[in-house]
Chain A
């Protein structure tokens, strides 16, 4: 199994601060996805990055795919309590990207 390591595993910061979550692997993926999961619910897709070096922005969230397509980062600017949740990265492999390997997650808590 190809592993995706996320860091940090837990992060607790004050509202208004910036943060970055990392997702690293020694394997190359055809695309990389970021999800957010709330307690008692399934993960919800935030973004998919496909091209090495690609940067995508979703309001205060910035996602980057590494040049070699082995790693990714999620940066949140001016974090808000609504950003609290479990953030998961997932690397896609296979002809139709049907095989997904998930990272172990980063549990983020934003303190008001």
Chain B
């Protein structure tokens, strides 16, 4: 089954404690992205990747890092989380013809 998986699905942490949200896709897609979704602000792109070792900033990259060492994985790293990073995070992947698939989401709370 074609899918995008994210882990963990739910996470409560404290300010400053480094965390990683994993994302994996089994569709051999080149393009992958991370978004955050906040009430009243919609989905905003954090980072995207066009291929292995090719990443670039989206609209809200501050406080986040990503890496793309393998085609199937695109982890999101928060080196020092802060409460304003409390949000619902989505990973997505797509092929060249714009069929984008989203993961199930990770709800992060930073206390």
* Residue A33 interfacial (CB < 8 Å): yes
B49 nearest in chain A by CB position = A98
* Residue A103 interfacial (CB < 8 Å): yes
A42 touching B90, Cβ below 8 Å: yes
- Given A96-B31, A98-B31, A101-B45, verify A43-B102 contact (CB < 8 Å): yes
CA distance A96 to B103 in the complex (A): 21
A44 nearest in chain B by CB position = B102
Shortest Cβ gap from A33 to chain B (Å): 7
CA distance A97 to B3 in the complex (A): 21
* B4 neighbours in A (Cβ, 8 Å): 42
* A90 neighbours in B (Cβ, 8 Å): 43
* Residue A45 interfacial (CB < 8 Å): yes
A-B CB contact pairs (8 Å), 22 listed: A1-B44, A31-B98, A33-B98, A40-B105, A41-B105, A42-B103, A43-B90, A45-B99, A45-B100, A88-B42, A88-B43, A92-B98, A96-B96, A98-B31, A98-B33, A98-B56, A100-B45, A101-B59, A102-B35, A102-B44, A102-B45, A104-B41
Interface of B toward A, CB cutoff 8 Å: 4, 31, 33, 35, 40-45, 48, 50, 56, 58-59, 90, 92, 96, 98-105
